[in-house]
Amino acid sequence: MTEEFRMNQAEIDRAVEHFRSLLKQQILRAERLSESETDRGNTFPKTVIGLIGGDGIGPIIVQEAKRVLEFLLKEELKSGSVELKEIDGLTIENRIAAGKAIPDDVLEAIKSCDVLLKGPTTTPSGGTMESANVTLRRELDLFANVRPVSVSSLGIDWTFFRENTEGEYTLGSKGIAIGDALTMDFKVTTEAGTRRIARAAFDFARKNGKNHVAVVTKSNIMKKTDGMFSRICREVASEYPEIETDEYYIDIMTANLINPEMRNRFQVFLLPNLYGDILTDEAAQLQGGVGTAGSANLGTRYAMFEAIHGSAPRLIEQGLGSYASPQSILQATVMLLSHIGMPNKAQRLSEGLKAAAALCPIDGTAAHATCAEFGDALLKCLLDR
């Protein structure tokens, strides 16, 4: 051992203790997961939809989604079977003041809802503050991140099932540093965590007449974690003999998505958290950019729907926040409506969005419509259908 590392013996001992305690916590979590496999799907007498503005352009785009929901759910809001609840406090300023990724009162308000529509929240890079997104996914146990991408002119109709609570994200803010010389982060994969996302993906494929699932890992390198992910996915796949399952490594899959010879064979993707994060941005770009894609975070008790882009601080700094495009959050609203058992309203919004995009081009710059103008055009299109 070099002098530098010998001098850090106390830090090494602390790191070993830290690792021991992480390991214990994760063993407990894995045990809880494997015990809670039963479906606790809820049928609510009333559905409370929480609207979380978030940071930057978030409140601007969520405002348009709110107008749309008020319009489409007019009857339900009147009869009280649906309630919209605005939750304002999930801002970077409040989170810094509370020294927490989600202040306690905000988390309590969020947990009093059934489904959530959430604008982007700022994730500070470095430091120890965990991302609000990651914390929410964990606190609400939103284990399936479902992201559809479709480009009919290219024959693309993909649905990504990204595992949403494990991998590099579980302990992403709990890594180890030994002085300035060495850093280590941890990646966590559990059997129960993998099994439930695999089931979600294969059930979706079966229910929607899809006959191909692509499992994406890097199990040749990440032998333990991705190795387990791949093994469990193969096990689950054997329960769905009508569905063909192939495994690809993440590197070649990033190439396949832009390979016209390959990409049309894909339907459903099943992947660990970080690969899903990266691949879905690439896929969304083929559809017109991350501003056009919505995302569903599903658990057994809660579900949260969000835009897949960030809070666009540069747009706000340039004073151009009012030009933010609400398309991604509105795609998420389509998914929300379908999730709460209103497929017809979801369809109406989805068609309305296509019509509004043709009528009122918007691209997040001052050259085109503002967010509110797009909202007006959309409401007009919705009235027509």
Q: Which is nearer to ligand IPM, 123 or 347 (CB)?
A: 123
Q: Does 131 bind ligand IPM (CB under 6 A)?
A: yes
Q: x/- binding map, residues 46-85, to ligand IPM, per CB under 6 A?
A: ----------------------------------------
Dmax over CA atoms of the chain, in Å, equals 75
User: Interface with ligand IPM by CB under 6 A: which range of 128-136, 219-227, 343-351, 375-383?
Assistant: 128-136
Q: Residue 123's binding partner, choosing from Mg ion, ligand IPM, none, with beta-carbon cut-off 5 to 8 A by kind?
A: ligand IPM
> What are the tokens at 131?
């991302």
Q: x/- binding map, residues 315-344, to Mg ion, per CB under 5 A?
A: ------------------------------
Q: Which residues pair with 334 in a beta bridge?
A: none
User: What strands lie across the sheet with 294-298, from one edge to the other?
Assistant: 82-87, 47-52, 115-118, 303-307, 294-298, 144-151, 156-163, 268-271, 212-217, 244-249
Q: Which is nearer to ligand IPM, 123 or 285 (CB)?
A: 123
Q: Does 168 bind Mg ion (CB under 5 A)?
A: no
Minimum CB–partner distance for residue 156 and ligand IPM (Å): 19
Q: Residue 134's binding partner, choosing from ligand IPM, Mg ion, none, with beta-carbon cut-off 5 to 8 A by kind?
A: ligand IPM
What Cα–Cα distance (Å) separates residue 353 from each residue in 48, 63, 116, 363, 378? 24, 16, 20, 14, 6
Its sign, for the CA torsion 254, 258, 261, 265, is positive
Tell me the three state secondary structure of residue 150. Answer: strand
What Cα–Cα distance (Å) separates residue 50 from each residue in 69, 188, 216? 12, 30, 33
Q: Which amino acid is at 208?
A: N
Q: Residue 347's binding partner, choosing from ligand IPM, Mg ion, none, with beta-carbon cut-off 5 to 8 A by kind?
A: none
User: Interface with Mg ion by CB under 5 A: which range of 178-186, 204-212, 276-284, 309-317?
Assistant: 276-284
Q: Which of 57, 106, 134, 201 binds ligand IPM (CB under 6 A)?
A: 134
How far is it, in rounded angstroms, from Cα 95 to Cα 90? 7
- Residues 259-298 binding ligand IPM (CB under 6 A) are 277
Q: Which residues contact 4 (CB under 8 A, 6 or more apart)?
A: 179, 181
Q: Does 123 bind ligand IPM (CB under 6 A)?
A: yes
What Cα–Cα distance (Å) separates residue 87 from each residue in 126, 129, 248, 310? 27, 21, 41, 19
Pairing of strands 176-178, 182-184: antiparallel
Pairing of strands 303-307, 294-298: antiparallel
Minimum CB–partner distance for residue 168 and ligand IPM (Å): 9
Q: Residue 131's binding partner, choosing from Mg ion, ligand IPM, none, with beta-carbon cut-off 5 to 8 A by kind?
A: ligand IPM
Q: Which is nearer to Mg ion, 47 or 131 (CB)?
A: 131
Minimum CB–partner distance for residue 296 and ligand IPM (Å): 11
Residues making contact with Mg ion (CB under 5 A): 277
Residues making contact with ligand IPM (CB under 6 A): 123, 131, 133-134, 277, 308
